Structure 1
Amino acid sequence: MTSINPATRLFSRLELNESQLTHQPGSVFSSTALIAGTTVGAGILALPAVTLPSGILPSTVLLILVWLYTLVSGLLIAEVNLNSMRLEGRLSVGFLAMVENTLGKLAAKIAGGAYLFMHYALLVAYMAQGGEILISALTKVGGIPNHLPGWLGTTTFTILFGGIMYWGREKFIAKLNSAFVAIVIASFLGLLLLGTGQVKSVQFLFQDWGAVGSAVSVMLVALFYHNIVPVVVTQLEGDSRKVRQSIVIGSAIPLVMFLAWNAVILGSVNPEMVQKYHHFDPLQILRAGGAGEWLGVLVSIFSEFAIVTSFIGFVYGLVDFFQDVALIRQRGLDQRLPLYSLILLPPMSLGAVNPHIFITALDISGTFSISILGGIIPALMTWKQRQNQDHVHQLLVPGGRVTLMIMIMVALVIMTRQILSMVRF
């Protein structure tokens, strides 16, 4: 067998334009932006609420550890995907196909159930919250009457951004997503500049290491991007070097943003406030500051586009999922309609009926679904794939079986902790 240089691509993406084949290689920048945009979503808005009881230093340490865990997990998925593409001779191998080929049909059904539940639950949250922000902005700017029905925002958000993804070509969506990520970063920097004026240095001294564990599930949700790793691998033509760069940089950008955001918000409030407010909204603290109207505008812009970028990534994840299980073959415009209807209509309907239907379930689904999809299954797939010595495999994660065992054990501990807390409750 001829060895394959790990720094070279596995295939070339060609596109037929006016009777000419043109090479359409994906860029590291676009793939990095897709990962970063998928990661920076509603999770960052909820993060300070769960890290406030522990303090800045404990939550910072935990956030870095959770990022390392999700980074290893993302690289494991990419490793299995690259090897599956090479062994099967396919240009694209989705997550479910990888699970079935390596672990069997039962594992694929478990993974598929967790995958669907998490994606639809998060899409409901994104559509509902994104629609609420959108309608609120329109009432302020466009003079639209207040007290509009809640379903209108969810529906408008879905039609607008779902329609863009339905009609837009992949290259256009990639450029648009990159522009949205730039807006997120710019508005985020503005928020930090305005928010740092309220930071009290004494708050950095507060530490409660015993309370830090309760933030793990939200951190996992906030740092999850693994659904679009197979998409990135295909976009980058199976080039392992580019894939690794995109995953590392694309996940590190949100980490830096989360750390800065967490420090600014926690430095602006007293830990005792968590006892006073059961549902603490950190953004209200910023709006109550002396920055005035500009702060509220930046909060709205940052929140909306952070949700939109995550929305794009999760829709892509479901497109890849349904095409992978061969429910719908996307060969033309007529096949795209049932595919996107299947993806968008169920969460839009649930969000329109009751925007808060999954608020409680998100924490639980994040804990179990992401522990399964981002911890146990990637480790088991890698373990099984590496046992086959008859093929040349691309290794993206060092440490051998010890690393894989740690990944599985951590996921089991997180799930066990959640179960025990539910029983005590």
Structure 2
Amino acid sequence: MKNKTLGGTLLVAGTTIGAGMLAMPITSAGMGFSFTIILLLILWLLLSYSALLFIEVYQTARIDDGLATLAEQYFGAFGRIISTLSLLIFMYAILSAYVTGGGSLINGLLSAGLGYDTGKLSIILFTVVLGIFIIIGTSSVDAVNRLFFFSKIAVFLFVLLMMLPRVSIDNLMAMPINNALMLSAAPVFFTSFGFHVVIPSIVKYLEGDIRRLRIAILVGTGIPLFAYLLWQLSTHGVLSQSQFLQILQQDPTLNGLVNATREITGSTVLSEAIRVFSSLALITSFLGVALSLFDCLKDLLNRVKVRSNRASLGLLTFLPPLVFALFYPEGFIMALNGAGVMFAFYGLVLPVGLAWKARRQSPNLAYRVWGGNPSLLFALLLGILIIAIPFLVDKGYLPHVIG
């Protein structure tokens, strides 16, 4: 029983840590350390709350039901269609972010060696090489993912050991260049706690046990939160805000983060360690999301009775993010922003709506998330705000973040 709780906790933690973590230093460069920490804590509380709402609603369903089935149970066929579409768009958007981010890192490495820009080639290489593992099958993904996951943890610890002694209090005390940046960056940071797609798997794995599910969610999100705080302490503490912003204006990608680290610290070892860590983090996240999207598309096509094979499913999975990356090679933050908007619906608006309906239809549920209906309303308003932020930025009401 204890091992299952630990397994569920690690599944939450492993799914949570992804590209959003890599985007943090870029999007928060103008915010300053203090505002960044406040935003992280708010989003951690908000998304842990919404995940617990899903657990509450699962008391009224079978433990092997998916989230789309829950949506259909309370909102009919329209609920299933909307939840499925939001999930698909979210996965396509975040996969696009992984492809652009991975391509920029490989481009930085190949361009230095070959002496010319390899942007499009790097993007294609990243997508095709990793996509092959997905098309071969889950066993090949599992084998390569284990190797990359443990390597990622080891490199991250190495990066922290190198960066933390270099932290400057003056850098941490840097003030935001615009207080409203905390709002503008929210959709990107929102994806940093995006583990909700695996909730059905965790519910089934832990057999619907409320106590163990609560532990898995709260501890499983607490681990990434602690890692994020250390990551932000390291990057904000080591990288001078003015220099960092100047370099990012020229290259607003993950490769820009690597270059900024090398120029500001003068350490090639540290900058390349960050490149390796970023690459490994993108690879493990890419494999997990791509496999989920691949299986989701397979189930969807089977449901509408359209025949498919692994090659055609591979094209459906990878062609849209590849096309996006080829047309927007610096679109890492743009893609994450779009993913954050879709996830705000899937991970916040949807569970609020489900919980509201479930409480009305089943008023005697054994477990209810703290806060009652006022908390549901507050979470719903925050979800709508996060969805609206990109439009407010486009209209000039909020400042643009880097990238």
Relative to structure 1, is the Cα distance of residues 409 and 132 closer, same or farther in structure 2, using a 3 angstrom cutoff? closer
Return the alpha-carbon distance in structure 2 between the equivalents of residues 261 and 35 of structure 1.
19
Structure 2, gaps ≥5 residues long: 398-403
**Map of 1:302 onto structure 2:** 277
Question: What's the offset of the Cα at 1:160?
Answer: 3.0
* Alpha-carbon distance in 2 for matches of 1:150, 1:82: 49
**215, 236, 245: which one aligns with 1:245:** 215
- Map residues 165-176 of structure 1 onto 2, 5 A cutoff: 165-169=134-138, 173=141, 176=144
* 1:377, distance to aligned residue in structure 2 (A): 0.9
Map Cα deviations across residues 168-203 of structure 1 (whole Å, 9 max, x no partner): 446x75565454333222211211221224321123
289, 293, 304: which one aligns with 1:318: 293
Structure 2 CA distance for aligned equivalents of residues 235 and 259 of structure 1? 29
Q: Which moved more, 1:27-36 or 1:153-162?
A: 27-36
Alignment partner of 1:76 out of 40, 53, 61: 53
Corresponding residue number in structure 1 for 2:73:
101
Give the distance between the partners of 2:99 and 2:245, measured in 1 at CA. 30
Q: Assess if the C-alpha contact under 8 Å between 1:30 and 1:175 holds in 2.
A: no
Query: Residues 159 and 234 (structure 1 numbering): CA distance in 2 closer, same or farther, change over 3 Å?
Result: farther
Question: Is the CA contact 1:201–1:267 (under 8 Å) kept in the aligned structure 2?
Answer: yes
Match of 1:371 in 2: 344
- The CA deviation at 1:294 is 2.3
In the other structure, the counterpart of 2:400 is none
Once the two structures are superposed, what CA deviation does each residue of 1:272-300 show, in whole Å capped at 9, x if it has no partner?
Answer: 44764563544333222556332233112
- State how 1:348-367 maps to structure 2 within 5 Å: 348-352=322-326, 354-356=328-330, 359-360=333-334, 362-363=336-337, 365-367=338-340
Matched with 1:47 is: 24
Query: What is the 5 A alignment of 1:16-415?
Result: 27-81=4-58, 83-86=60-63, 91=64, 93-134=65-106, 145=114, 147=116, 149-169=118-138, 173=141, 176-208=144-176, 210-211=179-180, 212-273=182-243, 276=246, 279=249, 281-290=256-265, 292-319=267-294, 321-322=296-297, 326-328=300-302, 335-352=309-326, 354-356=328-330, 359-360=333-334, 362-363=336-337, 365-389=338-362, 393=365, 395=367, 397-415=369-387
- Aligned pair count reads 389
Q: CA deviation at 1:347?
A: 1.9
Higher-helix-fraction structure:
2
Q: Which moved more, 1:394-403 or 1:222-231?
A: 394-403
Q: Which amino acid aligns with 2:131?
A: G
Q: 1:76, 1:397 within 8 Å by CA — same for their partners in 2?
A: yes
CA contact (8 A) 1:37 1:313 kept: no
Matching residue's letter, 2:355 = T
Which amino acid in the other structure matches residue 224 of structure 1? G
Offset from partner CA, 1:56-94 (integer Å, 9 cap, x none) = 1222122111111111122323443464224xxxx3x33
Distance 1:28 1:147 in 2: 50
Q: Is the 8 A contact 1:191 1:295 kept in 2?
A: yes
Taking the aligned partners of 2:267 and 2:332, their CA distance within structure 1 comes to: 33
- TM-score between both structures, scaled by the size of structure 2: 0.81
What is the alpha-carbon distance in structure 1 between the residues aligned to residue 383 and residue 357 of structure 2? 18
Distance in 2 (alpha carbons) for counterparts of 1:98 and 1:410: 22
Give TM-score scaled by structure 1 length.
0.78
Alpha-carbon deviations, 1:1-37, whole Å to 9, x = none? Answer: xxxxxx89xxxxxxxxxxxxxxxxx955554444333
Alpha-carbon distance between aligned partners in 1 of 2:36 and 2:326, rounded to the nearest angstrom: 35
Could you tell me which runs of 5 or more consecutive residues in structure 1 were left unpaired when the two chains were aligned: 1-6, 9-25
The C-alpha deviation readout for 1:185-242, integer Å capped at 9, x for no partner, is: 2211211221224321123333448343332222102222222222333444544444
Cα deviation 1:99-133 (Å, max 9, x = unaligned): 22222333433333332222112212212322443
Q: Secondary structure at the match of 1:267?
A: helix
3-state DSSP of counterpart to 2:273: helix
Distance (Å, rounded) in 2 between the aligned partners of 1:124 and 1:215: 18
CA distance in 1, matches of 2:320, 2:175: 43
Distance in 2 between residues matched to 1:138 and 1:206, nearest whole Å:
35
The superposition leaves residues 135-173 of structure 1 with CA deviations (integer Å, 9 ceiling, x where unpaired) of 655788xx7x45474343333323333332333446x75
